[in-house]
């Protein structure tokens, strides 16, 4: 062992203190130079930039580092999302470091990296709409959640719990799903008033948003069948959705958990937020329509094969889509011509003068 910057030992059991002293003695015997004034002990510890809580079986980052990320995004709100590319690169690097443990962040970093990769170091400009929506989502999650995640072994539900489907028509959308074990079911008809983000503004219907509607059906099913209660233990489950014979998008989405397509991105963020609070990992398994006849019947509002007593009393107001609605309103604001012109006017490119050394802020 030539060089060690950070050393971390974990000792349990009746002989934990004896093992601790023997461990330290072994390092002293080989001449390891320790700075004992830096030693810390207890059930919680900071190690290589992360925070470990053995008493609660959680890992993450310290409150100080998490607060820095929250304050940085809030400050960006005040600047109308105009930022120097160097500062954004610094923020993105630290966010990537945090995402090593706060893994719910990882799928949503794609649009941030995409913009960071094409922005020259001297650029000062307004962030693209997709990046702004992503940052607002991250701000909401970091503000409402702790900066720690559970390190407990997850509970697996290998069998499918329920199946869902969605039907997109010119003037309405129907979400349907049923639970395999209990045979409970739901069917919701939605119009442009409830889900305006799934309809074309020029009145061309909702058929173009079938993938988004199917993901919304999965979110609705999680709520209807009681999977979204706040939990501390990680759970992993599988469900099936009917995507038609030519639509595997949500199957792939549940694997990579990342998309920049509109409005699928908004619903994916809402689903990710709900799963994070419930400590749940969802794996969508695509099935062709002929293997998901029951869910298809529910979206066609054919209820003969389902017991009325097992219908879940559900309205769309019961489903938490506040994040989708907030981001939708943000998107509408950013679509104004004045906002786009402001973005163009705010961009500045560094001149050929001698560059000053970039000083990173304290984290």
C-beta of residue 74 within 8 angstroms of C-beta of residue 100: no
Q: How confident is the model at residue 95 (pLDDT cuts 50, 70, 90)?
A: very high
Distance CA 316, CA 155 (A): 29
In this prediction, residue 169 carries a pLDDT of: 92
Q: Which of 64-78, 209-223, 247-261, 293-307 has the lowest mean pLDDT?
A: 247-261
Out of 3.40.50.410, 3.30.420.10, 3.40.50.2300, 3.90.1150.10, select the CATH number for domain 154-330: 3.30.420.10
C-beta of residue 273 within 8 angstroms of C-beta of residue 108: no
- Spell out the domain ranges in the chain: 1-39, 63-149, 154-330
In this prediction, residue 191 carries a pLDDT of: 94
Reference 65, options 91, 83, 37; nearest CA is 91
pLDDT in tens, 27-36: 999 888 888 8
Q: Between these two residues, 233 and 78, which has the higher pLDDT value?
A: 78
DSSP secondary structure code for residue 360 in this structure: P
Q: How confident is the model at residue 338 (pLDDT cuts 50, 70, 90)?
A: very low
Q: Taking CA 241 as the corner, what is the angle to CA 235 and CA 247, rounded to the nearest 5 degrees?
A: 125
Region 55-62: mean pLDDT is 89
Helix axes 249-256, 210-224, angle to 10 degrees: 60
Distance CA 296, CA 277 (A): 30
Residue 144: is its pLDDT beyond 50?
Answer: yes
- The pTM of this model reads 0.72
CA 180 to chain centre: 27
203 by DSSP, 3-state: which? coil
pLDDT in tens, 216-253: 999 999 999 998 887 767 777 765 544 333 345 555 56
Helices (H), the chain: 16-29, 63-78, 85-98, 110-118, 129-144, 210-224, 249-256, 264-277, 293-299, 322-334, 337-346
Q: How confident is the model at residue 318 (pLDDT cuts 50, 70, 90)?
A: very high
């Amino acid at each position: 062992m030539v060089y060690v910057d950070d050393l971390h030992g974990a000792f349990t059991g009746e002989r934990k203190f004896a093992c601790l002293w023997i461990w330290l003695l072994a390092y002293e015997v080989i001449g390891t130079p320790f700075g004992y004034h830096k030693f810390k002990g207890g059930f919680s510890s900071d190690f290589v930039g992360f925070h470990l809580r053995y008493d609660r079986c959680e890992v993450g980052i310290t409150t100080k580092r998490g607060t820095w990320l929250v304050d940085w995004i809030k400050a960006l709100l005040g600047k109308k999302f105009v930022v120097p590319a160097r500062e954004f690169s610094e923020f993105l690097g630290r966010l990537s470091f945090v995402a090593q443990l706060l893994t719910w962040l990882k799928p949503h970093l794609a649009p941030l990296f995409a913009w960071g990769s094409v922005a020259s170091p001297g650029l000062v400009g307004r962030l693209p709409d997709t990046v702004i929506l992503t940052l607002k989502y991250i701000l909401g999650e970091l503000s409402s959640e702790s900066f720690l995640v559970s390190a407990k072994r997850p509970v697996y539900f290998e069998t499918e719990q329920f199946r869902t489907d969605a039907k997109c028509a010119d003037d309405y959308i129907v979400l349907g799903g049923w639970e395999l074990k209990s045979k409970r079911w739901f069917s919701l008809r939605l119009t442009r008033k409830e889900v305006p983000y799934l309809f074309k503004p020029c009145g061309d219907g909702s058929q173009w948003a079938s993938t988004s509607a199917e993901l919304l059906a999965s979110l609705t099913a999680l709520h209807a069948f009681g999977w979204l209660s706040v939990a501390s233990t990680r759970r992993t489950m599988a469900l099936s959705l009917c995507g038609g014979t030519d639509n595997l998008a949500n199957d792939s989405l549940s694997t990579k958990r990342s998309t920049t397509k509109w409005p699928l991105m908004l619903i994916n963020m809402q689903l990710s937020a709900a799963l994070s609070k419930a400590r749940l990992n969802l794996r969508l398994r695509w099935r062709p329509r002929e293997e998901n006849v029951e869910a298809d019947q529910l979206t066609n509002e054919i209820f003969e094969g389902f017991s009325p007593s097992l219908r879940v009393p559900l309205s769309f107001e019961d489903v938490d889509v506040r994040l989708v609605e907030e981001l939708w309103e943000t998107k509408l604001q950013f679509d104004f011509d004045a906002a786009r012109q402001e973005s163009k006017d705010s961009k500045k490119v560094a001149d050929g003068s001698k560059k000053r050394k970039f000083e990173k802020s304290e984290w």
